[in-house]
Amino acid sequence: MAFLKNMFLAFIDSFVNIFVSGRSEIKVALFFLYLLFLVIVYFIFKNKSFKKYSWKYCWIGLLLMYFYGFALQLFFTTSNNIGLFDYINVGNNGELSSSSLWHTHVAKASVGLIFSYFGKTQFQTLDSGSVYLEYIPHFILLGGAILLLCLIIAAIFYFATSFKLFLKDKNIRQKIVLIFGYAVASFSLIEGSVDGGILSRNFLISVLFIVALFIREKGKKLKYFYPAVVLVGIFLLLNHFFSQNLTYIDIYGFVSLLLLYGLILGASEKKINKLILVPLFVIFVISWWMSSLRIIQIYKYSSTYIPASSTIYTHNASLNKVEASINKNGQTIELLAKSLNKNISYAPVSVDGITCARNNSSIVIKAILVSKQSLNNVTLNNLSFVKIKKGNSIASFSHFKTPLTFYFDPCTPEIFSVINGVMIDNGFNDYILNYSASSNY
């Protein structure tokens, strides 16, 4: 029963993940609450008359927010002497975050600033952006938070006014599909402004969908659009077998979102063309399934049963160490993770002989530590379950770059939290680890 429940949750999570990527489960709840709110707004204002407002102000605000996030990413990388396209992990006072130009999280600091006003700066199960608060002036972040709030209000305002008029001549099926499409696109674009950025697939494809929708509403037919979407989808799926430039998750995620918007457009036509929708749907389901493999594996992992008397390993964040214990009562990993307030997607529980084997080879991760001080005369402490090999620190402008190699026990749970624990134990309460540069160092 637990397995079926988890697979259903995986199904819902994987669908929302098509247009709102991330590890936090809260995105699923937020999307459906947003969708429900829009439906309520529609029925409240259904019979009220409004004038049609120009969409240009909404577009200006949206672009401002995306360029704001892009500027913050550039500021953070240049001020910390990091490569423009490098993938980094940032630790600060127990918080963890990752970022890159292709999927930036630095703008999340605007959200983290609001949380800080309520005394919340540390979250175990989500990345709130609080990690960047000490790197960026707070008045700049406050401006971003205000702009983000304006975007949310604008999305609801335009839905209740201009978009409602747009639905006036549509039948019930078209209205349902278009309201759902509005919810998907607006939620994806607003969330993506602080989690993803202007170069993310969510922004690029969502904008393409909106442009195609407006072209259609101007009276122009999209007869070449749908075959093009199908062909691009097939090409990208086949490209996975011949190119390693992108991971399969990137490719299938891109195809899934493109086809999802194609389905929304096709299903919202006044007259449905089955010759268009059937191929779209088939390829969409294939790409959705493939892009969901990581999520499916996570939920299978969460359903794993831990027999009584099994040896389990968890990371104690307050003590910065991996702890071994004996599972007294049989339970699933999901229940144990919830009792520890852990994010299941970070693999917070390892079970010897079930999820791992301690006699396997070590897990090796290489990174470059970017710091204000040299580590040449510093001896790093090893912790249980992880050993560190340090290279020579090299001065680079106002920073030093030190290659680090981490060797993890094969049963190490939530590896990046363990790395954070190692860094804190060695006196680095705030640090930047560059994973992209390590292979070229």
Chain segment 101-117, per-residue pLDDT in tens = 888 999 999 998 888 88
Q: How many domains in the chain?
A: 2
Q: Is residue 207 part of a domain?
A: no
pLDDT at residue 32 above 90?
yes
320 occurs within a structural domain: yes
**Does residue 374 share a domain with residue 325?**
no
| Per-residue model confidence (pLDDT) at position 219 | 78
- Residue 417 has a pLDDT of 87
Highest mean pLDDT out of 237-246, 292-301, 327-336, 348-357: 348-357
Does the pLDDT at position 125 exceed 80?
Answer: no
Q: How confident is the model at residue 265 (pLDDT cuts 50, 70, 90)?
A: very high
Q: Which domain holds residue 379?
A: 363-440
* One domain, residues 326 and 379: no
pLDDT, tens only, 324-368: 888 888 888 888 888 888 888 888 999 988 998 888 888 999 999
Q: For residue 342, what pLDDT is reported?
A: 87
Question: Is 426 within the bounds of a domain?
Answer: yes
CB 129 within 8 A of CB 152: no
Tell me the average pLDDT of the chain. Answer: 86
Question: Which has the higher per-residue pLDDT, 21 or 387?
Answer: 387
* Residue among 258, 247, 37 at smallest CA distance from 153: 37
- What pLDDT score does 10 carry? 76
Whether the pLDDT of residue 247 is over 60: the answer is no
Q: Is residue 339, in this structure, part of any structural domain at all?
A: yes
pLDDT at 85: 84
Strand-pair partners of 305: 332
**Residue at 272 is within a domain:** no
Which tokens in the block code for residue 16?
């929302």
Residue 64: what pLDDT? Answer: 94
What is the structure's pLDDT at 246?
47
Nearest to 270, CA basis, from 190, 216, 199, 195: 216
In a domain, 420, yes or no: yes
Q: Is 84 exposed, middle or buried (0-12, 13-18, 19+ CB in 10 A)?
A: exposed
CA-to-CA dists, residue 355 to 80, 302, 326, 336, 364, angstroms: 38, 11, 15, 14, 18
Q: Distance between CA 389 and CA 387 in Å, rounded?
A: 7
- Residue 203 falls within a domain, yes or no? no
| pLDDT computed for residue 188 by the predictor | 94
- Kindly state the average pLDDT of the residues 124-128: 68
Write down which residue in 295, 326, 351 finishes a domain: 351
Q: What percent of the chain has pLDDT over 90?
A: 30
Asked, for residue 385, whether it belongs to a domain, the answer is yes
Nearest to 317 by CA among 357, 354, 346, 295: 346
The pLDDT, as a whole number, for residue 296 is: 81
Reading the block at residue 75, the tokens are 């500021």
Q: Are residues 436 and 368 in the same domain?
A: yes
pLDDT of residue 192: 92
pLDDT mean over 168-189? 93
Q: What is the pLDDT of residue 1?
A: 58
Question: Based on the domain organization, do 370 and 345 belong to the same domain?
Answer: no
**At residue 24, does pLDDT exceed 80?**
no
Last residue of a domain, one of 351, 372, 389: 351
Sign of torsion, CA 418 419 424 430?
Answer: negative
Residue 241 has pLDDT above 60, yes or no: no
Query: Tell me, what's the pLDDT at 441?
Result: 47
Does 260 have pLDDT greater than 90? Answer: yes
Mean pLDDT of 401-428: 89
Confidence band for 75, pLDDT divided at 50, 70 and 90? very high
Express each pLDDT in 191-214 by its tens digit: 999 998 898 888 989 999 998 888
Would the pLDDT of 284 be above 60?
yes
Q: Which of 70-79, 126-135, 427-436 has the highest mean pLDDT?
A: 70-79
pLDDT digits (tens, 9 = 90+) for 49-71: 777 788 888 899 999 999 999 99
H helices present in 93-200, as ranges = 109-117, 138-160, 162-166, 172-192
